[in-house]
Amino acid sequence: MTPSAILLVSCPDAKGEVASIADFVYRHGGNILHADEHADADSGLFLMRVEFDPKDFDVDLAQKDLADFRKHFSPIAERFKMNWRLALSSRRPRMIIFVSRYDHCLVDLLYRHQSGELACEIPLIISNHPDNQRIADFYKVPYSVVSITKENKQEAENKIESLIQGYRADFMVLARYMQIFSSDFVNRYPQRIINIHHGFLPAFMGAKPYHQAFERGVKLIGATSHYVTEVLDDGPIIEQDVVRVSHRDTVEDLIRKGRDLEQVVLSRAVRLHVENRILLYGNKTVVF
């Protein structure tokens, strides 16, 4: 694929924003490949994703702090009170996977990464159990076991923090990781921890959502991938999907059907994050 630059913008809705961004890219030699926008009437917010070919772009995008781009784009950003960030498709973000004993989401992510579906690096897998070491070995990914108990939770989180820093992770994915991080830990990584919940949020939060769904006799079950916040299962939703169930299905049937959903929904969410297709406002996401 041709390397591209992705500009993500959110600001108060006003006339001229799309034209100003398009003119900026054109004047500096860029060629727009994709442009998507959304105006939220309730909040008065405008959100936009612009992907362009930077081959002939006359602004230096190689600087880590984007100083040259910032200098040229700032007049537009200040005029429209824009929050913005620029990403390059050629840069592969580093993703650490967290897992407990269930391996279906882990295996799916590793397979899709190996097959080229996920344009990221996986430098490490962290688990609170040794069970999935063999899978990590098969895919040649380092595997670190960090046991967590009520008594050592702070010490364990400190060790995990050291691993995240040491492996230079850009974001983390909880692939059925059955531990709850402290608020202090979560708040250090806003919009950088993606979770898969085996339920169709906001219904059936917390533990054993399939059991809850079975008790209510639902006709659909779902899975939800979301960004982690300090409130359990309440972060901005990235991706969801559902499958029909019937009165003939047991709890075990719901769990089996749900696992198929979980791995697909999580992989979709990771891909959307890696491809810089998600913009947040409030507790919502806009996915382009």
Q: Which residues are identified as catalytic?
A: 233
For residue 237, what are the β-bridge partners? 226
Instruction: Of 82, 78, 131, give the one whose Cα is nearest residue 107.
Output: 131
In this structure, are residues 220 and 241 in contact, taking their beta carbons and an 8 Å threshold?
no
In this structure, are residues 13 and 44 in contact, taking their beta carbons and an 8 Å threshold?
yes
3-state helix, strand, coil in the chain (%, to 5): 30, 30, 40
| Alpha-carbon span 208 to 97, nearest angstrom | 22
| Alpha-carbon span 163 to 51, nearest angstrom | 33
- 3-state secondary structure (DSSP) of residue 173: strand
In this structure, are residues 221 and 258 in contact, taking their beta carbons and an 8 Å threshold?
yes
| Alpha-carbon span 155 to 245, nearest angstrom | 42
| Alpha-carbon span 213 to 176, nearest angstrom | 18
